[in-house]
A and B are shown apart, each in its own frame.
Chain A
Amino acid sequence: MAEAVSSLVLGGMTVSPDAAEPRTAHRLAAFEELVLRHQSQIYRVAYRLAGNHDDAEDLAQEAIIEAFRAFDRYQPGTYFDRWLFRIMSRTYIDTVRRRNRRPTVSLDAPMGPDRDPLVTVMGDSKGDPQQMTEAVDLDGTVQAALDRLPEEFRTAVVLADIEGLPYDEVANVLRCPVGTVRSRLHRARQMLREALGPHLGGRRGSR
């Protein structure tokens, strides 16, 4: 019994702290260098997900700390930013779910855009329409529309359209099948089209 307790408390003492510290310092330096190199992408995704600077900083830092804890599992030479997005999207979705528990709607159920309950919800929660038209800042308007997307949809559209990741990479980050990415992305864009209607229709691409 006493032996068990002492090994619980003192077990690690066999590893001298002096041997452990430089290794940690080394890891930290290597990690911070990667963070520094990718900080603008990391912050951009955090900001578009979180919707404001306060929450973006929190989200980015939380994801960075989590990534540091898991840094042993990062393979040098692979995309550090995508690896971190993977952690960040998990952190983000967990945070949102903890904060406001929304009624469960099957987000991935196949449904026509016209009958989509989520689009209807979006339309209803649009808020004061006058406020919308008065918003001179297009960035703010787009961000507000992004903010109203369910978190899985927002994450998909941020990764695909803002970060420019291909479908399979988005699927990898979100840990879901590519088919799910396709449908989430499509419906996210449809919702944004509904929400941003009056602000659309400038430059047109070709078919």
Chain B
Amino acid sequence: MSPHVSDRLSEYMDGALGVQDVERVRAHLDTCPACLQEYRGLQDVQQLLRGLPAPHPREGFMERTHWRLAREAAAQPARARFLSGLREAFAVRPFRVALVAGALVVVALPIVWMTGSMGPREVPLDSDAYVRHYVMLSVDRPLADEATSTFVSSDLPEQPIR
């Protein structure tokens, strides 16, 4: 192991090291000009960042944000109605499921053919595979934004931050 403490310096600076490591780093800095110089550089960077002035939003920022939010809020009940309708249709009876699965296959087939990333025998037949396929598609193809947008919004934090 290198005697230098370069990779511990940020943690040392942030007070994120245990007592023993602190002692080791401090002792090393007393004797090693190279590490000391790097440490001072890191301190300078941090001070520079901390000293940056707070940027002010452009005038009307909150107002524009308000209008976008209001538009979103207006769209939400309709979206919720549509989704609950969809859920109901999904929830019951095999023939409805067959209907939806049929629609999925119709939608998914050309995509599978176009991307060529899956053979025709691996046509996704269930909704899980369909979603998985879209995720893979979006990883491969940045232009498929639309396909992922619903997925992204469903992938928001469930765990609140303290």
Please report the total number of B residues contacting A with Cβ < 8 Å: 66
Chain A residues with CB below 8 A from B11, complex form: 182, 186
Is B162 touching A12 in the complex (CB atoms < 8 A)? no
Please classify the interface of chain A as helix (H, G, I), strand (E, B), loop, or mixed, using the class held by over half of its residues.
helix
Cα separation A21 to B78 with both chains bound (whole Å): 10
Chain B residues with CB below 8 A from A186, complex form: 7, 9-11
Cα separation A119 to B96 with both chains bound (whole Å): 57
Question: A12-B81, A101-B142 known; A87 and B157 CB under 8 Å?
Answer: yes
Is A11 touching B45 in the complex (CB atoms < 8 A)? no
Is B69 touching A192 in the complex (CB atoms < 8 A)? no
Cα separation A66 to B152 with both chains bound (whole Å): 9
Chain A residues with CB below 8 A from B145, complex form: 98
Cα separation A61 to B60 with both chains bound (whole Å): 12
Q: Which of A8, A87, A185 contacts B89 (CB 8 A)?
A: A8
Please classify the interface of chain B as helix (H, G, I), strand (E, B), loop, or mixed, using the class held by over half of its residues.
helix
Chain B residues with CB below 8 A from A90, complex form: 152, 155-156
Q: Which of B44, B53, B64, B66 contacts A193 (CB 8 A)?
A: B44
CB of B56, distance to nearest CB on chain A (Å) = 8
Chain A residues with CB below 8 A from B26, complex form: 207
Is B142 touching A98 in the complex (CB atoms < 8 A)? yes
Question: A43-B61, A86-B161, A87-B157 known; A20 and B80 CB under 8 Å?
Answer: yes
Q: Does B31 contact A (CB under 8 A)?
A: no
Residue ranges of A at the interface with B (Cβ–Cβ < 8 Å) = 1, 4, 7-13, 15, 17, 20-21, 24-25, 27-28, 31-32, 35-36, 39-40, 43-44, 47-48, 53, 56-57, 60-61, 64-70, 73-75, 78-79, 82-83, 86-87, 90, 94, 97-99, 101, 112-113, 138-139, 142-143, 157, 160-162, 164, 167, 169, 172-173, 182-183, 185-186, 189-190, 192-193, 196, 199-205, 207
